[in-house]
Structure 1
Amino acid sequence: MSNTKLEKVFRDPVHNYISVNNQTIYDLIGTREFQRLRRIKQLGTSSYTFHGAEHSRFTHCLGVYNIAKQITEMFTKNYPETWNPEENLVAQCAALLHDVGHGAFSHTFEGIFDTDHEAITVNIITDPSTEVNAVLRKVAPDFPEKIASVITHDYDNQQVVQLISSQIDADRMDYLLRDSYYTGATYGEFDLTRIMRVITPVDNGIAFKIQGMHAVEDYIVSRYQMYMQVYFHPASRAMEVLLHQLLKRAKVLYPAQKDYFELTSPRLVPFFEHNFTLSDYLHLDDGVMTTYFQNWQTHPDEILSDLSSAFINRKLAKSIKYDKADEQDLDILRQIIAKIGFDTDYYTAVHSNFDLPYDLYRPELQNPRTQIEIMQKDGTLTELSELSSLVKSLTGTTHGDNRFYFPRDILSPETLFKAEQEAFVSYIRNDHFLGKERK
């Protein structure tokens, strides 16, 4: 690994100092594709719920690099028989670049315009037109493909792959601590220092010494709590729903109003046309999109202007939980909402969030998870849930809920259609919905 002439440091609220003493890493940080991540929020719409959550994908990727750097340096020092130090730069570059393909408002944008941030990450790494690719090619002609194969999990060294992507990896360890810090929620805190002391390379991946098992348990519980309390927060999901409906309405209007959208939101036109390039993608970020929504507030279409204004000014829909057995009831609620005067295609939505806190390796699944292995004192490996009753209780079980979103105005005393409002309120609060006994 070629070192820089002088160590560079980034002051970080989670890791204190993040040091860079390798020229390749420093050059990657300076590329336009990586600098773009400063303009992509790590938590998307969650900043509308947790006002401190303004941190970016840039800060997160630096944090993941920092964790990977510390682990690979420790492996090099303590495990010369099981870790190849030539993998250090591969692991560190993959850690730094693992999220470089994330787009504006990430997952919501992907759902509307059928993009894939992981595929775009690989594209950025391997496309000769990018600055990232040029930096990687200076290491070796095939180095970009090596880094890309770590992202796609095809790299031949599973130790490197699992450091970047597994049920306990550098990515998750950073985002839990970082998101916890910036949201002000303490659920995501765990003993990173202890985990870093007990992580160890094994023949086909990574494991954790049994002395640190309770720190790993704490990490699993922290991850569960962050999903339930922060990532799945109903208000954050309301903003996601609003963003989805807003973009959906713009997409419907575009064919008949191309001139308008070319004037007010030109960077979105290639996505409306289903004909975007990598350059088009990289020109979009959260700020550009927000500016477009501000422009659309004056659009003559009442739905687009209203949804745009609601997004800019954080006017959230209300929601109620529902189960699969309630889906017929949802149709009745939509009928009532339509009578009140709302277009249910845009003013109602269902949103599901479920997470599997931990699971065993199940090879029969399409995307099996890599289980967490605990190394006993005699060197044998035991799957975590066999040793931890706490983790066993979370293993293989999904947690989360389904929510039905509807206009907040329906519950307002100013609602014009009083009979329909009363019917709606009665339906969601009384025996008709959710509270009824099921036989």
Structure 2
Amino acid sequence: MKPQRIRDPLHDLIEFSETAFEQALWDAVNSEEMQRLRRIKQLGFSELVYPGATHTRLAHSLGVFHTARELSGRVRKFLGRDFDEDREKIALAAALVHDLGHGPFSHAFEDAMKKIAKARDQKVEKRHEIWTADIIRENTDIGRRIEKGMGKEAREAVATLLLQETPTDIYSGIVSSQFDADRLDYLRRDRLMTGVSHGSFDYFWLLANLEVDQVPFSTDGEDYANIDSLVLGNKAFQAAEAYVLGLFHMYFAVYFHKATRSAEKILTALLVRLGELILDGNVAATGLDSAHPITEFLVDSTLRNYLTLDDSVVWGSLPLMVRASDDHIKHLASRLLRRDLYKAFDVTEYFKGRGGEASVAKFRAALSEAKKADGFGYLEIFEDSPARDPYKRRGYDTPEALSKVLIRGSPGGPYQDLAELSDVVSALQKRTVYRVYAGNANALKKVKQIAMGVG
């Protein structure tokens, strides 16, 4: 066995050492399911706005593994003999495979599957985290490789960790918390690949000031355990603020960009229409055939069929759907191919100084009435309300405390929640942007008239 190296634009060299454990992870990287992530872009349609944003979920997954290993190295330094190597291995494996369950264009695809299920009074489609756990647990290439390299119990432990909504120890906190390897990689990677100036923070200073302390858990005011947790030293105070602010800014500059969201809405509508026709037995009207991967998945949503889907399958199907006999399919597919996106009317921005949230609520009601009165055609407008909570305030003496960003208020002093020490973080509030996307000039005019009628 020899070390394996990957050249990465963010981390430079990511190395898998000659140890049996890291060689097992390298074997997992070469599985069918991990290689599928080469064909799913990390930022979906963001390349329509930022042409450099073509990096994949495989690149991000490798980066999360590398970052998790760096965080784990700091934990090892502080815990010494108490460091749990078995738990570390589960966390590093989970970091590597955490994105396996994403579908093509991720959140747009997931939203479409929910709408299709809801329209047919079916069970809501699975979240990507559940797909990920299924991929690891079931008879898949990567599942077999993880079991061969790490054992059957470790395979189940990795799947279980990835389904946890809150971390249960310091090792799972490395994988999923408000200061985890996932966020620490994608914030830096997405900033680099899009070329934006938003989202900058001093990662290496945060890492250098990362410590370990014990967090008390309690029920009904009575402590029942003390658990090790990541804590930032006092010198990292400004860097921690910049991290929280950077993540918040990236959502509205990149992830919620109006053009990106417009493309996502078009794809969601396209997939929903495909679902309507295919599940009604009218495959011929879609431009696809019964053996197409999208058709097969919509008819039978098995894991095997799910794993045949990726971004390239969707892009490759668009020229076929442009020839569909169904006008809606043809229209939406053509618009995606030509980047002929719906135009956004930012309702939230329009009503700043014109009544704010109260006026937005009135606009929503007026728009709803206009839609009921057939004021808009089937695909003339889409509504969108992306929201971001910049910092989730968790219970203090509970397991959710491991999800916080904990920092010392003074050198060597006790730790506190960052929101308690930082006026900047404390002042941040959840932000929602409400937009209406219009497919043509006439629809956009109607939307604006409704807004003017409200105020």
Give the equivalent residue in structure 1 for 2:366.
Answer: 329
Letter in 1 for 2:406: E
Give the equivalent residue in structure 2 for 1:401.
Answer: 433
Q: What is the rounded CA distance, in whole Å, between the counterparts of 1:10 and 1:410 in structure 2?
A: 52
Spell out, residue by residue over 1:302-348, the C-alpha distance to the aligned partner (whole angstroms, 9 max, x if none). Answer: 22101110011111111223322211321465479x56xx623x221
Q: What is the rounded CA distance, in whole Å, between the counterparts of 2:397 and 2:207 in structure 1?
A: 31
TM-score by length of 1: 0.87
RMSD between superposed Cα atoms in Å? 2.6
Q: What is the rounded CA distance, in whole Å, between the counterparts of 1:371 and 1:74 in structure 2?
A: 18
Kept in 2: contact 1:246–1:304 (CA 8 A): yes
Letter in 1 for 2:325: P
Kept in 2: contact 1:73–1:88 (CA 8 A): no
Spell out, residue by residue over 1:23-65, the C-alpha distance to the aligned partner (whole angstroms, 9 max, x if none). Answer: 1111111111001000001011222122211111000000000
Kept in 2: contact 1:149–1:155 (CA 8 A): no
Spell out, residue by residue over 1:377-432, the C-alpha distance to the aligned partner (whole angstroms, 9 max, x if none). Answer: 345221112211111111xx2113111111233279xxxxxxxx5x665444x4x1
Gap change, CA 1:425 and 1:169, over 3 Å in 2:
closer
Spell out, residue by residue over 1:348-393, the C-alpha distance to the aligned partner (whole angstroms, 9 max, x if none). Answer: 111110100002214899x998221113534522111221111111
SS of residue matched to 1:101: coil
Please state if 1:371 is matched with 2:404.
Answer: yes
Q: What is the rounded CA distance, in whole Å, between the counterparts of 1:389 and 1:326 in structure 2?
A: 34
Bigger relative contact order (CA 8 A; separation at least 6): 2
2:293 to 267, 270, 288: 267
Q: Give unmatched runs, 5+ long, in structure 2.
A: 114-124, 215-226, 348-359
2:261 to 227, 230, 237: 237
Q: What is the rounded CA distance, in whole Å, between the counterparts of 2:309 and 2:367 in structure 1?
A: 36
Q: What is the rounded CA distance, in whole Å, between the counterparts of 1:378 and 1:179 in structure 2?
A: 34
Gap change, CA 1:306 and 1:368, over 3 Å in 2:
farther
Q: What is the rounded CA distance, in whole Å, between the counterparts of 1:264 and 1:214 in structure 2?
A: 56
1:354 to 381, 387, 402: 387
Q: What is the rounded CA distance, in whole Å, between the counterparts of 1:409 and 1:308 in structure 2?
A: 19
Q: What is the rounded CA distance, in whole Å, between the counterparts of 1:137 and 1:256 in structure 2?
A: 41
Q: What is the rounded CA distance, in whole Å, between the counterparts of 1:131 and 1:232 in structure 2?
A: 35
Bigger shift: 27-36 or 251-260? 251-260
Spell out, residue by residue over 1:146-167, the C-alpha distance to the aligned partner (whole angstroms, 9 max, x if none). Answer: 1112112289851111111111
Gap change, CA 1:45 and 1:115, over 3 Å in 2:
farther
1:385 to 409, 419, 432: 419
Gap change, CA 1:317 and 1:88, over 3 Å in 2:
same
Shift of 1:259: 4.5
Letter in 1 for 2:338: N
Q: What is the rounded CA distance, in whole Å, between the counterparts of 2:26 and 2:95 in structure 1?
A: 13
Bigger shift: 197-206 or 240-249? 197-206
Kept in 2: contact 1:60–1:174 (CA 8 A): yes
Q: Give the 5 Å matches for 1:7-406.
A: 7-21=3-17, 22-113=22-113, 114-127=125-138, 129-138=139-148, 139-153=150-164, 158-203=169-214, 204=227, 205-254=229-278, 255-259=280-284, 263=289, 266-273=292-299, 275-322=300-347, 323-331=360-368, 334=371, 343-344=377-378, 346-362=379-395, 370-375=403-408, 376-378=410-412, 380-394=414-428, 397-406=429-438
Aligned pairs, number: 411
SS of residue matched to 2:16: strand
Letter in 1 for 2:438: F
TM-score by length of 2: 0.84
Gap change, CA 1:332 and 1:98, over 3 Å in 2:
same
